[in-house]
Amino acid sequence: MERTYIKDLKEKIGEKVKINGFVQAIRDQGAIKFFVVRDVTGTVQIVILKGAGGVFEEAGEVSLESVVSIEGLVKEEKQAPGGFEIQAENMEILSKAEPELPIPVIEEKSGEPTDISKRLDWRWIDLRKEDNLKIFKVWTELEKGFRKYYDQKGFIQIYTPSLMGTASETGADVFKMGYFEGEAYLAQSPQFYKQMAQASGFEKVFVMGPVFRAEPSFTSRHMTEFTGWDFEISYIDSHEDVMAEEEKLLVSGFKQVKESLGLEIEIPSIPFPRISMEDAKDKLSKAGIKEGRKYDLSGEEEIELSKIIKEETGHDFVFVTDWPVEARPFYHMRYEDKPNLTKSFDLLYKGLEVTTGSQREHRYDVLISQAKDKGMSIEPLQDYLNFFRYGCPPHGGVGIGPGRLVMKMLNIPSVKEVTYLPRDVKRLKP
């Protein structure tokens, strides 16, 4: 018999079906046993009667989270979850679980929740929870929405290497590799190679892949490895074009999540609010938030600024623009009339930075000058700088943290909880 997914059972009332799944709950009432069986689409109650032959005896061997295949009749039952149940006629135990689970799949509402560290130690069991499954359905639909937009607008996907001969960002937060003759690093971003694609005439590209940061990842927003979603576009007039592109991309992603999963999320309206870094600091100062990070926003400032913008505009997103050169990489374009400021931005969503973007500097001589201003040696950068020696369109782009988007979309406290297998300073397993 062909398998039926649990979500389709309501169309099969009065028919015999076969389902496969995990046994989520067991209730034994002597002459009758009740199972709750879960597959990737939902749960259903199974009724096993004592007079049903060998299936009743076999049911007595089943432990919580065992994997079973059950055949039986779908019957309407108003008292059952969903209004129907399956009366079992045959059952096969496909994989028997050990009787003592290391962590519960169904948390007791009255008890203490399982510690996050222990849950991550047993991640494959933790992921069986319905809420955790939903997280990765949101990831899937969000990416579908992004890809739908990229396809409509003629973007080309490129697959950039994770091994680089030059650190892709300024700062010391890089993983050095000892395998190669010269220095090698794990990529902090696909930035250089997205820009190479502009010099190659690709005009619109996107990248989805791993990003590595050797930074102290002890916060709810940081990891040593995470997934980055990037795009880069040519022939722009300023970073305003990049922000406008990202707005439409995010709306496409949010619509896909809401329509496909029925998730109660707000589709952001366009345009998103914009505020310069200088004005943001002024607003925060007037609100009594005074941080010592002159050229950056602290986590507290991001939270408070988002609250202010939400109160003023009703919007969950805000672009913070015009960052000082001290806070940005050498390749961010600077204003001609304000050389201390860059044509760059961060995008905050519900109090958390989810994007960094800018117009890039595409002029070879200016790039060299800006790298020297940053105290950088030109020789290690020469392969990158060569991209701009033989013509390159004006361009810009973004790096997006989808994990942070999903985290805030679902109001989950840590980005690690929305990551399939998080990696931080202390975690390399499972």
Domain ranges in the chain are: 6-95, 130-418
Backbone torsions φ then ψ of 164, nearest 5 degrees: -135, 150
pLDDT band at 256 (very low <50, low <70, confident <90, very high): very high
pLDDT in tens, 157-168: 999 999 988 776
The pTM of the full predicted model, rounded to 2 decimals, is: 0.94
- Whether 366 has a pLDDT exceeding 80, the answer reads yes
Cis link prior to 430 (omega < 30° from 0)? yes
CATH topology of domain 130-418: BirA Bifunctional Protein; domain 2 (3.30.930)
Say how far apart CA 246 and CA 250 lie, in whole Å.
Answer: 6
Closest CA to 165 of 17, 382, 366, 333: 382
Backbone torsions φ then ψ of 226, nearest 5 degrees: -150, 170
DSSP3 helix / strand / coil % (the chain, rounded to 5): 35, 25, 40
Question: How confident is the model at residue 181, as a pLDDT?
Answer: 86
CA 193 to chain centre: 22
- Whether 386 has a pLDDT exceeding 90, the answer reads yes
Question: How confident is the model at residue 112, as a pLDDT?
Answer: 85
Say how far apart CA 405 and CA 410 lie, in whole Å.
Answer: 9
User: Which H/E stretch holds residue 90?
Assistant: strand 84-95
The pLDDT > 70 percentage for the chain reads 98
Q: Considering the domain 6-95 in this protein, what is its CATH number? A: 2.40.50.140
Question: Which residue is it, tokens 């989270």?
Answer: 65
Mean pLDDT of 264-276: 97
Is residue 187 within 8 A of residue 211, CB to CB? The reply is yes
Name the CA dihedral angle for 415, 417, 421, 424, rounded to a multiple of 10 degrees: 50
Question: How confident is the model at residue 108, as a pLDDT?
Answer: 82
- Whether 136 has a pLDDT exceeding 70, the answer reads yes
- Whether 171 has a pLDDT exceeding 60, the answer reads no
Question: How confident is the model at residue 109, as a pLDDT?
Answer: 76
Say how far apart CA 319 and CA 345 lie, in whole Å.
Answer: 6
Secondary structure of 115-135 in HEC code, one letter for each residue: CHHHHHHCHHHHCCCHHHHHH
